[in-house]
Amino acid sequence: MTTKRKQKPDVVNQYTGNSWAYSKEVREHFFKPKNLLWENPKSATKYDAQGIVGSPACGDVMRVWLKIDGKKDKITDFKWRTFGCASAIAATSMLSVMVTEKDGMGIEKALKIRPQDIIKRLHGLPDRKIHCSVLGDKALRAALNDWFKKTGQFDRVIVEGTRIIDPNTKVTEADIEEAVLEGATTLEAVQKKTKVGIGYPECIHTVEELIRFYREKYFGPDSK
């Protein structure tokens, strides 16, 4: 299987003629981050929920603070801090905009945000940087888990990676990630390991997307 890489055009600076490795949107969110938590909250109750993912050793850490309207089951405010490169900072900033625009986002909808959705809104990232933005949605889910636990909605708590891809075989996203890490980088190889989609072909497209995503994440954009 050969994947043709789309060459993303560099953005040319209108004043300098210099090209930049990132899109205009990434640039904007990197240099002027939106919804950043500038000051530490004075009282512990100022925000309804908090979440943190990543590790300083990995080079990316994201921390998220949320205000939630419990009655409407909606996120009304999203503040964040990020340790990481330009795309990590821009991706968290963009996520905060996505969640808070139009009077906030319903929790169910917010739980479904995927890294690809953030990347799309950023008008793409350099191929090798795609892994960076993965953390934004995970930090958000971590914060929502915090909310679910605080409000006793234990049935809604999501253990990361347990999203079931194939209801027949109960194969989860984490199973696909693990299979790719073990070297199964094609649909056939992943099916051999997990039997995903064999009785439920509707999920094949999602599986292929995940394989490509994790393959590029762990083995680089040129991997096959």
Contact residues: other proteins, CB under 8 A: 15-18, 30-31, 33, 36, 38, 52-63, 81-89, 128-129, 131-132, 142, 160, 181-185, 215, 217-220, 223-224
Residues in CB range of 195: below 8 A, 6 or more apart: 169, 171
**φ, ψ for residue 171, nearest 5 deg:** -75, 130
* 151 vs 223, beta carbon nearer other proteins: 223
Question: Would you please indicate which residues are annotated as catalytic (active-site) residues?
Answer: 58, 132
Residue carrying the six token digits 């808070």 = 100
Cβ proximity to other proteins, 200 vs 218, nearer residue? 218
| Amino acid in the structure at residue 15 | Y
Minimal distance, residue 110 CB to other proteins, in Å = 19
CB of 57 to other proteins, least distance (A): 4
Query: How far apart are CB 42 and other proteins at their closest, in Å?
Result: 16
List the structure tokens of 40. 């530490």
Crossing angle of helices 86-100 and 24-31, rounded to 10°: 90
Least Å distance between CB 64 and other proteins? 9
Residue type, 129: K
**Token output for 102:** 């139009």
Nearer Cβ to other proteins, position 30 or 147? 30
Q: Give the residue among 189, 191, 84, 67 at the shortest CA–CA distance from 134.
A: 84
**DSSP single-letter state for residue 155:** G
Nearer to other proteins, 108 or 182 (CB): 182
